[in-house]
Amino acid sequence: MTPEKLYEILEKYAMSRGWELNRDKEFVFELLKGLLKNEERYGYRSCPCRLASGDRKADADIICPCIYSAEDIKEYGRCYCGLYVTKQYNEGKIKQNIVPERRNKGR
């Protein structure tokens, strides 16, 4: 799969959730390349902004979109890596804060 094809797929997915892909396409395509690289390495598209173990079961929470994305988007206007965002985020109406890592909390 190409990054362009993955973009089309994820754009439709984002729209189905009421989200958007980040308007910074150069940034997005780097993330997409990372997702595809992780799929090549591990057999699944783990978040390129987190360290995957290669064990699908152990990494289930960080397979894109990660299980933390909805909460991150609701609270910060974007997911941890910034691939998925709200319309308000893309329009610059939400301050661009760093999204804290939720993965290891409570583990």
pLDDT at 63 over 60: yes
Residue 16 domain-assigned (yes or no): yes
**Structure tokens given for 12:** 């439709």
pTM score, two decimals?
0.93
Residue 97 domain-assigned (yes or no): no
**Amino acid at site 35:** L
For residue range 68-100, list pLDDT tens digits in order: 999 999 999 999 999 999 999 999 999 888 999
Residue 32 domain-assigned (yes or no): yes
Q: Which residues contact 9 (CB under 8 A, 6 or more apart)?
A: none
Q: What is the dihedral of CA 84, 85, 86, 90, to 10 degrees?
A: -130
Q: What is the pLDDT of residue 79?
A: 97
CA distance 84 to 31: 11
Q: Which residues contact 13 (CB under 8 A, 6 or more apart)?
A: 65
- The parent domain of residue 84 ranges over 3-91
CATH number of the domain residue 73 falls in: 3.90.460.10
Number of domains within the chain: 1
Q: Are 38 and 46 in contact (CB under 8 A)?
A: yes
For residue range 9-56, list pLDDT tens digits in order: 999 999 999 999 999 999 999 999 999 999 999 999 999 999 999 999
Residue 60 DSSP symbol? G
Burial class (CB in 10 A: 0-12, 13-18, 19+), 58: exposed
Residue 48 domain-assigned (yes or no): yes
